[in-house]
A = this chain, B = another copy of it.
């Protein structure tokens, strides 16, 4: 910029004024400066600018598993919403690994991001303390982080699973297997709570062995389903608490030589972008993913534009049970 100023025989202040439009610059100088800029091939140094301005116009986004279609969609939506208003997005995926997660957040913070959107992999003590010490605008999405007073966008997981389980019960099912996500996540806990709520409401006894941990990945879902399917008194229905585990569960059902919904009913959490390639079409709880992403982006944008000390806002979105063809009514004995 100094070079430009020299070439155009003006001061750097004038060049800066022109570039940023802060002040009117006379046509004569404007022309000289623009000529100098293209002659030299000058490009504004964004780092110096950020140093001066104290903002990078960049936000950090950390999800627990970017390959999970749900999070892919979240990332895409947020990235798009933020780009539109001039923010760049730095993305990390913790792969459901709490240690990696801490490292990645540090990496993000170390890049001086203006704000953070986080879908926590789980609540190790570290994370909570750590995030609490971060003084930058932040919103937590999908899963909450107990005791952390920041903006959040979450689904009403408990209610959603209550609905789905009640639907299964309404169909006559009593032994309903449940493939659970990690209980270190709020989603894992809330969804399980919804399952128990439904059982309690219908006075169906809760059976420990019907709840199997699926660790939120496909392989875990497979194992959990197998566990369920090989019990002497096999459940007549299974609820799977997220999309990837469902894929594993469906595979297990096939491998066990069973057929859904003829031998066993399946309902699950999370709809798929390509739901109809699945056979049978799955009855699921759909999350309004795009809306969730937009809300998260907007909450952060609000914080970024000054609303620093308002009380945290906690948005809770309702899921929607989509009945398709993977559940069958149980003939009463």
How many protomers of this protein does the assembly include?
2
Is the Cβ of A90 less than 8 Å from the Cβ of B46?
no
Known: A51-B47, A67-B72, A75-B66. A83 touches B107 (CB 8 A): yes
Which of A108-116, A122-130, A166-174 is the contact stretch? A108-116
CB A40 to nearest CB in B, in angstroms, measures 13
A104 contacts the other chain (CB 8 A): yes
A237 contacts the other chain (CB 8 A): no
A66-91: which have CB < 8 Å to B? 66-67, 72-73, 75-76, 79-80, 83, 86, 88-91
Residue from B58, B66, B251 within 8 A of A79 (CB atoms): B66
A277 contacts the other chain (CB 8 A): yes
Chain B: CB-nearest residue to A277: B278
With a cutoff of 8 Å between Cβ atoms, the chain B residues found around residue A251 in the complex are 276-277
A247 contacts the other chain (CB 8 A): yes
| Chain A interface residue bracket vs B | 35 or more
CA distance A47 to B133 in the complex (A): 20
CB A310 to nearest CB in B, in angstroms, measures 23
A48 contacts the other chain (CB 8 A): yes
Interface residues of A (CB under 8 A from B): 41, 43-48, 50-51, 56-58, 66-67, 72-73, 75-76, 79-80, 83, 86, 88-93, 95, 103-104, 107-112, 133, 218, 247, 250-251, 273-274, 276-279
